[in-house]
Structure 1
């Protein structure tokens, strides 16, 4: 009888443990599904949704240049998913991608930089980061993981916005795309869930002298024009970094892009690679869970 009671207690504790572990991402899943639902409904028929979402666009623009989005995975293309003219330009540039040299440089770094191959034996890992490290109690972006590896092997960390680090990330992204990997971000603990919530809070917080949030442009504002360019949606943002921006004439990490967005908001940017940036990236990445990795890529 005693043995039966002990077994029952152990099984009950195990069940509670499994349930708790699975529940840490419950709110994040609600957020992600709500975002997917919002974006799919918004872009399923831009002309029909003009009053609700595109009040400043003309009927001609919505009918002739805005492509309805019917598959959620198309959001990996950013604004090109619904921008017919932009998609044509994108496909033309992709015939001879300007980031190919960066992928080659990244492969050389992977093979010849002390410790890197040991830290990352499988280079097809772009969709697995950021991760939450419970021992260090912090979000580990791919950028941080690379620099942590370098330091652990007696090397100096690389600049987090461009250069060698962006090249190596481009190689990781290319191998992940080639392998058909998808974004797969985990929230394994209460501390991880709290980090996610902080990132979400900052994404929706109004900042800077313009009093804008990231969501103003990339959730509510997704699909609206700023001059000739359409604002891209949060859904899919983290599938394709690092990116080669025509404005930069070079490759940059997500840390570089966030810094530029903060400047555009009229805010003094947080330090790239900071905990603030890492938690923002954690939230953004979870929102793209399940979408195909599609990097590196090109944006204007």
Structure 2
């Protein structure tokens, strides 16, 4: 029965495939800065080319991201800049007290996430780094993964890397995590018996109902989704995908989602960081 349901869903891709709702040849430029949203795929990639999710959005959504004044995600980045300067915790320190100007100290951080944390001997997403710093240096309580504060801070820190190429490390101690993420990407789960690859590798560019399927690149996260009317983390998007195929999702911040994040980031190596981006 599960395989019959899955076959029905896969058939839906072909049945609803149609001309793209956006100009997939459009180029992203913000305040005169040009972004890399399309790359020739490396020889070992399962994709023929690497495409940012921005290329799959409709014209109106694409246009909103090109204007920081109109992009609602920028409100979160602005809140993050306030939090950066605000003292917190028993230590009474702000992020700026230790790290100074975020434009300098945080430049390139988002582009390299997730990465191995030598002190904790584990792979850290950006959210993990933020909470570790809060507990270690500010003596403050950690923020919840999807809290407004966390989304604001990840937006602000990510903004400092905007335009830089995604550049994550997949060797050394991170290799095991990358391999785990790859396994998860191709593993069928849920009542619909589907894997990430069914949508984002085999059917990107097609329509499924009202959704224009992208390659699932994560170079823009956290993103403001019009569907959510708010910001969301990479792990929230993972959970939504698992919910859609009627699978039991892993928790935000879990080893499984962090490993999957590393694998997906590696698939988009070289794309420009778009944080904070806008999606449908």
Q: TM-score range by the shorter chain?
A: 0.7 to 0.9
How is 1:24-173 mapped onto 2 (pairs within 5 angstroms)? 55-56=14-15, 61-62=18-19, 67=24, 71-72=38-39, 77-78=52-53, 80-82=54-56, 86-92=58-64, 94-95=66-67, 96-113=70-87, 114=93, 116-117=95-96, 118=98, 122-124=105-107, 125-152=109-136, 153-173=138-158
CA distance in 2: counterparts of 1:211 and 1:64, whole angstroms = 28
Which structure shows the bigger proportion of residues in strand conformation?
2
SS at the partner of 1:72? strand
Do the aligned partners of 2:168 and 2:266 also contact (CA within 8 Å) in 1?
A: yes
Identify if the C-alpha distance between structure 1 residues 63 and 187 changes in structure 2 by more than 3 Å, giving closer, same or farther: closer
Q: Note if contact 1:239-1:291 (Cα within 8 Å) is conserved in structure 2.
A: yes
Measure, in 2, the Cα distance between the counterparts of 1:167 and 1:64: 30
Pairing of 1:208-223 with structure 2 (within 5 A):
208-223=190-205
TM-score normalised per structure 2:
0.76
1:136: how far off? Answer: 3.1
Matches within 5 A, 1:11-30: none
Consecutive unaligned residues in structure 2, runs of 5 or more:
1-12, 27-36, 41-48, 88-92
Which structure 1 residue ranges, 5 or more long, are not aligned? 1-53
Partner residue of 1:231?
A: 213
Residue 6 of structure 1: aligned partner:
none
Q: CA RMSD in A?
A: 2.6
Work out the number of aligned pairs and report it.
237
TM-score (norm. length: structure 1): 0.71
Q: Secondary structure at the match of 2:161?
A: helix
Find the residue that maps to 1:132 and give its secondary structure: strand
> Which structure has more helix as a fraction of its residues?
1
**Which is bigger in relative contact order (C-alpha 8 A, separation at least 6)?**
2
Name the counterpart of 1:262: 242
